[in-house]
Amino acid sequence: MNQVVPLRRPARLAPGARVAVLAPSGPVPEERLQAGLDVLRGWDLDPVAAPHVLDRHGEFGYLAGSDADRAADLQSAWCDPAVDAVICARGGYGVQRMVDLLDWDAMRAAGPKVFVGFSDITALHEAFAVRLGLVTLHGPMAAGLDFLKSARAQEHLRATLLAPETVRTIASDGTALVPGRARGVTLGGCLALLAGDLGTPHARPSARGGLLCLEDVGEETYRLDRWLTQLLRSGWLDGVSGLLLGSWAECGPYEGVRALLADRLGGLGVPVAEQFGFGHCDDALTVPFGVAAELDAGAGTLTLDEPALG
């Protein structure tokens, strides 16, 4: 029986750590990239921009350059012994086009590093869990507007990277859609990407035993319904321990989204926390994936058994 298990924790960052910033998905505005690099420098880190981070695909302008170049940036950074962490610049779309080009044997041999991103980066969170067995951080990205304009989002990511013992309890402003407490191992990300990843070599076969985090952006309710129903019909949600629901920005009035979430997820018989404060939202929290934890849906807290990073 496949069950979500705790993964290997990379080392926390120390002052002076080198951080590669790259774009596995969509193109990055240069001024936002520079602003994000400045934030990281302010944390006494040493950020370096990947060679193709500012590229734009000649035919498909929604991609940050060619699939091969985006994959090469990630693999080169991961296999560089001088690099301690990889932080994605932004999401968009494109990871599913490049993830199969990565040399997972070489990346595994390079050893663990810190990896940060969300949204389209969900496909890499899954791949890093399945192929490398590593804890990753679902958190704001270096050139994201939600990161650049939010001191709270910046501080929570900074603390997770440099002083992870201070954020073992992740406290949100959320409430219980279904009350209760649950224990499990964190996983998840963007709903559309998780549903789209099913059946690929990089996807977990099941969320059994997991505390599943879900969020999405800019999708109509019927599309959210389709993807939730796909996860249910495939059996992927069988045995899940609990759910944390993040932001549903630009997905229509929240009361309609909430009704759908209750309809599709309320029957699982597990605690469900809503509006937990991660994803495409102001002041987004950083949530580690692959860590054993306890969810208290009523209190809106996720308490990690150990710090996200070693």
Q: Which domains does the chain have, with CATH numbers?
A: 18-166 (3.40.50.10740), 169-304 (3.50.30.60)
In the residue annotation, 215 being an active-site residue is answered as yes
| Long-range interactions of 49-55: CB distance < 8 A, separation 24+ | 49/21, 49/22, 50/20, 50/21, 50/22, 50/23, 50/74, 50/76, 50/77, 51/76, 52/22, 52/23, 53/21, 53/22, 53/23, 53/28, 53/89, 54/23, 54/27, 54/28, 54/30, 55/23, 55/27
In the residue annotation, 59 being an active-site residue is answered as no
pTM score > 0.85 for this model?
yes
Give CA–CA dist 41/15, Å, rounded.
10
Strand partners, 134: 8
* Catalytic option among 52, 138, 202, 280: 280
In the residue annotation, 280 being an active-site residue is answered as yes
Please list the ranges in the chain whose pLDDT falls under 50: none
- Tens digit of pLDDT for each residue in 246-289? 999 999 999 999 999 999 999 999 999 999 999 999 999 999 99
- Tens digit of pLDDT for each residue in 159-176? 999 999 999 999 999 999
Q: What is the pLDDT of residue 2?
A: 83
Q: CB burial class (10 A; 0-12, 13-18, 19+) of residue 211? A: buried
Please give the helix or strand (H or E) that residue 248 lies within, else none.
strand 242-249
* Catalytic option among 25, 119, 150, 241: 119
* Catalytic option among 126, 138, 150, 215: 215
Which residues are CB-contacts of 45 (< 8 A; sequence separation ≥ 6)? 13, 15, 16, 17, 18, 19
Q: What is the pLDDT of residue 1?
A: 61
Q: Residue 298, by phi and psi: left (phi above 0), alpha (psi -120 to 50) or beta?
A: alpha
Query: Both tokens of residue 283?
Result: 């002041």
Of residues 143, 138, 90, the one with CA closest to residue 114: 138
